[in-house]
Amino acid sequence: MFVWKDFVGKVLEAAEKCPKTAALIYTLSTGEEHQDEPVVPDMVIFRNETEGDSLSDGTSAARAMGTQEAAHVDRILKVLDVNCLTEDAPAADVLGNNGVVNCGVGLWVLPSFINHSCHPNARRTHIGDHAIVHASRDIKAGEEITFPYFDVLVPVSKRREASRAWGFECKCDRCRFEAEDSILRQEILKSEKDLASGGDIGAVVVRLEEKMRKSVVRERQKAFLRASFWSAYSALYDSDKLMRKWGRRVPSEALVAETVADVVSGNESVLKAMLRGSRDGNGCGNRLEVEDKVVRIGRATYGKLVKRHAMRDLFRLTLDATNKINI
């Protein structure tokens, strides 16, 4: 990764020196195209060329690379604006708008073809100059791979603001439900307003839970809304005072964390809540069942970077430490 001000020059220099690098960059979106279906690149361009390699139209990969025009600065800058990633995933133009110019940023061509979703099935992790994308839940054959470009543990209005900064509108099942459900839409707006004005967090969470119960909302849709107001749920569970007042009227922390994890796949704050809320099961099953759930969320969050047995050890150490404190 590079600092943004140095990164642009590095990319332009590499594109001018290497036709193949320029060709790879030119395959990426500039954010100006209008395409309903995801574009699948020809995998030939990502392989070291061998004799006989050809693109889908029969063109030699070598000739295709060689016929690329010299790096076009404007086009490459547009590509970088909508495809660059940092560990927190803002686009380059968002970095500029927010004045954050000293973040590490990089361009990974193949991961750049992966679309955003607020209900993703994959997660990316950065180690040095490598971007590692791993499945965060089971993916069906033919299902599109997606990961979040920005924080998705916020209400749909904020997610749409973020997606517009990237030049698109998210139409995942979660966004459609939250934006189009006429019954819950008013409750969502009211909850956002109350939280923004410093209202009682516990009251907001309790009212949302009661509204979902009365509206006979499906479990998956409950998880969508809990994920959108995760900051409120998390603040409630963090406060002993609020839990004494509202604790009996809200689901357990482990239960909420589990449902939110199913929506956003892996997330460190959700994993932490699951660990903390799993002291006595809290409605999520016995110790072995909760252990399996913690390991699943941990694997979704970190992929193979953290071994399965290491996640189990972390869970057991957490419970053992808690039990000693309670004793």
- Per-position b or e across 281-310, b if 16+ CB within 10 A of its CB: ebebeeeeebbebbbbbbbbbbbeeeeeee
What's the pTM value of the predicted model, to 2 decimals? 0.73
> Which tokens go with 10?
């590095």
- Give the max Cα distance, the chain: 73
pLDDT score of 48: 60
pLDDT score of 271: 74
Q: Which residues of the chain have a pLDDT value below 50?
A: 50-71, 89-102, 280-281, 322-327
pLDDT score of 194: 93
> Which tokens go with 168?
């698109």
Q: 87 near 147, Cβ under 8 Å?
A: no
Separation in Å, CA 219 to CA 138, 224, 258, 262, 263: 19, 9, 12, 11, 11
Q: How far apart are CA 259 and CA 222, in angstroms?
A: 8
Q: Residue holding tokens 């959108």?
A: 228
Q: How far apart are CA 294 and CA 296, in angstroms?
A: 5
Closest CA to 104 of 86, 88, 121: 86
Q: 12 near 113, Cβ under 8 Å?
A: no
Length of the chain: 327
Specify the 3-state DSSP secondary structure of 127. Answer: strand
- The neighbour count for residue 9, using CB atoms within 10 Å, is 10
pLDDT score of 90: 35
pLDDT score of 5: 59
Q: 258 near 293, Cβ under 8 Å?
A: yes
Q: How far apart are CA 1 and CA 126, in angstroms?
A: 9
pLDDT score of 318: 59
- Cβ burial of 317 (10 Å; 0-12, 13-18, 19+) is exposed
pLDDT score of 63: 45
What DSSP state is assigned to residue 93?
H
